[in-house]
């Protein structure tokens, strides 16, 4: 793709994602893409890139620009969000009844269809030229996965797959760390720790197996957990505007505050530990601006 066409593509992304005209992250994205290209050229096999960050940190935006940048350099790139692997509401209701009521809420490890995720990644990497791979999409407004005929299609083999999600690459904490509730949700609705133990065991098992496939991990490092509610509230406002204020999955501030508590333990653990383990750490300020890019110490 020529530079003029690439520039037009980025302009369309800025418009489609409703980003400000002075959107300043593109030079940072170019640096991250350059690191991925360097890794891809050094390794003949397809690459799985993990992109982790708290809710509202800009993962989807970064993934979209990285895909465009990598495509222009001859590395066909697909994006799979772990959010699109959520179990449907009836499946989560059954899980809640069988294991713990808190598993009825989507998001934490244990509420995703990881078999589907592995299947999609394998299909993207092994596709023959011209073959289309269906990439699942979950509709948060209706709290259910879209029908298969409405999934995205990626044609041909992917040289790079970006797996993005709030808990991508997360490690389990272990029983000792789980003993003390971290918020009122855990204290009041999981007093015996069964829910958090189930989530931690999921991280240690099937999630670890998926995340172990990652060749390069990028972490969007929020300045603190306090930013997460506000960032996620802005996401909810955009979703409300997009759907006209309707949809079973939409939340007011009270519901959102309770929802965020489901994610708090792992998010705080990631903020504390992942800067030392990710291959690339992208430091953010409270206004989502990138302030620094660090590579892992070799």
**Residue 180 Ramachandran class (φ > 0 left, ψ -120 to 50 alpha, else beta):** beta
Please report the pLDDT score of residue 229 as a whole number.
79
Contact 249, 105 (CB under 8 A): no
- The structural domains of the chain, ordered by start, are 3-82+162-292 (3.40.50.300)
Please, what's the largest Cα pairwise distance for the chain?
59
Q: What is the mean pLDDT of each run of 10 residues along the chain (298 residues)?
A: 53 64 77 95 94 91 93 95 95 96 95 97 97 94 90 97 97 96 97 98 98 97 88 72 58 82 95 95 91 77
Please report the pLDDT score of residue 226 as a whole number.
86
The sign of the dihedral angle between the CA atoms of 204, 278, 229, 93 is: negative
Q: Show the tokens assigned to 148.
A: 């298969």
Q: What is the pTM of this model?
A: 0.89
Tell me the residue length of the chain: 298
Rounded CA-CA distance 77/121 in Å is 12
CB environment 230-264: b (16+ within 10 A), e (fewer):
ebbbeebeebbeeeeeebebbbeeeebbebbbbbb
Q: Show the tokens assigned to 172.
A: 């389990």
> Is residue 132 classed as helix, strand or coil in its secondary structure?
strand
């Amino acid at each position: 793709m020529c530079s003029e066409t690439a520039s037009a593509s980025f302009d369309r992304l800025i418009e489609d994602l409703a980003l400000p005209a002075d959107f300043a992250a593109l030079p940072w994205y170019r640096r991250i893409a350059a690191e991925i290209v360097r890794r891809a050229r050094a390794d003949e096999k397809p690459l799985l890139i993990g992109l982790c960050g708290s809710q509202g940190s800009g993962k989807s935006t970064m993934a979209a620009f990285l895909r465009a940048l990598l495509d222009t350099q001859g590395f066909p790139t697909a994006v799979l969000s772990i959010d699109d692997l959520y179990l449907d509401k009836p499946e989560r209701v059954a899980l809640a009844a069988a294991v713990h009521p808190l598993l009825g809420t989507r998001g934490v490890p244990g509420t995703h269809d990881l078999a589907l995720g592995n299947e999609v990644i394998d299909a993207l990497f092994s596709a023959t030229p011209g073959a289309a791979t269906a990439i699942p999409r979950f509709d948060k407004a209706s709290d259910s996965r879209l029908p298969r005929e409405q999934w995205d299609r990626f044609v041909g083999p992917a040289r790079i797959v970006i797996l993005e999600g709030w808990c991508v690459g997360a490690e389990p904490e272990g029983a000792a760390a789980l003993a003390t509730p971290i918020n009122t949700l855990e204290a009041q609705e999981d007093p015996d720790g069964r829910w958090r133990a189930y989530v931690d065991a999921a991280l240690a098992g099937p999630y670890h197996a998926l995340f172990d496939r990652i060749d390069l991990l990028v972490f969007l490092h929020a300045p603190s957990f306090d930013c997460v509610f506000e960032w996620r509230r802005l996401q909810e406002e955009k979703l409300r505007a997009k759907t006209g204020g309707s949809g079973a999955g939409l939340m007011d501030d009270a519901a959102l505050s309770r929802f965020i508590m489901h994610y708090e333990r792992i998010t705080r653990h990631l903020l504390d530990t992942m800067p030392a383990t990710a291959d690339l750490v992208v430091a953010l300020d409270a206004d989502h601006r990138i302030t620094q890019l660090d590579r892992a110490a070799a």
